[in-house]
Amino acid sequence: MARKLTARETEILRAIYDGESCKQCASRMGISEQTVRKHRRKLLFKFSAPNAAALCRLAYETGMVSAARHSFRTVSLPVHSWSRRELEVAFNVARGLSSKHIARELGISPATVRKHRENIFRRIGVHSAQQLTVWWIDIGQFLHAQIDTPSEVQRNVIA
């Protein structure tokens, strides 16, 4: 389904995908932070995305944005050295799920999920779920692995 976006929405979508905060985006574009937040809410609605991480994934999958160069992507990390649980958490964050939903799905505490997220963010040098999602897309795990379950993530990463 093609989404009709204004030029401003497209620019803000790109900024979100690039990891800019609302404040950074507003400053760069010369508009108020509240205006950026309003456009962000509209984008979430148009893409039926529950959060910015899901918005990034959907925007990439539909071709609205393409991969870009980010400073947080310069980190070289052997993903094959991650634990199965870290891969499961990263996979589910990239799907746009909250810590609470991930915990329910994996049968663990939300605090454990938050700790895994914190460790993953630190390892790859990102600060948000949307940056993790973009990183995940860039390393090819999200779209190229064609995975149905997190256990397949581990098999595909290690292979």
User: pTM here?
Assistant: 0.69
Q: What are phi and psi of 67, to 5 degrees?
A: -60, 145
pLDDT classification of 19: cutoffs 50, 70, 90: confident
**Rounded CA gap, 93 and 99, in Å?**
8
Domain 7-61 has CATH 1.10.10.10: yes
Among left, alpha and beta (phi > 0; psi -120 to 50; other), residue 140 is left
pLDDT classification of 73: cutoffs 50, 70, 90: very low
pLDDT classification of 72: cutoffs 50, 70, 90: very low
pLDDT at 71: 46
**Rounded CA gap, 20 and 111, in Å?**
27
Close Cβ partners of 104 (under 8 Å, ≥ 6 residues apart): none
pLDDT higher than threshold 70 for residue 153: no
| Farthest CA pair distance, the chain | 48
How does the average pLDDT of the chain come out, rounded?
81
Q: Please state, for a pLDDT cut of 90, what percent of the chain lies above it.
A: 42
Per the structure block, which two tokens stand in for 94? 């990239």
Q: Render pLDDT for 78-105 as a digit per residue (tens, 0 to 9).
A: 666 788 899 899 989 988 899 999 999 9
Side-chain half-sphere CA neighbours of 95 within 13 A: 18
- Contact criterion met (CB below 8 Å) for 86 and 150: no
Domain-by-domain residue ranges, the chain?
7-61, 71-158
Domain 7-61 matches domain 71-158 at the CATH topology level: yes
Helices (H), ranges, the chain: 7-17, 22-29, 33-46, 52-61, 84-94, 99-106, 110-124, 129-138, 141-144, 150-158
Per the structure block, which two tokens stand in for 50? 């529950």
**Rounded CA gap, 143 and 136, in Å?**
9
How is domain 71-158 classified at the architecture level of CATH?
Orthogonal Bundle (1.10)
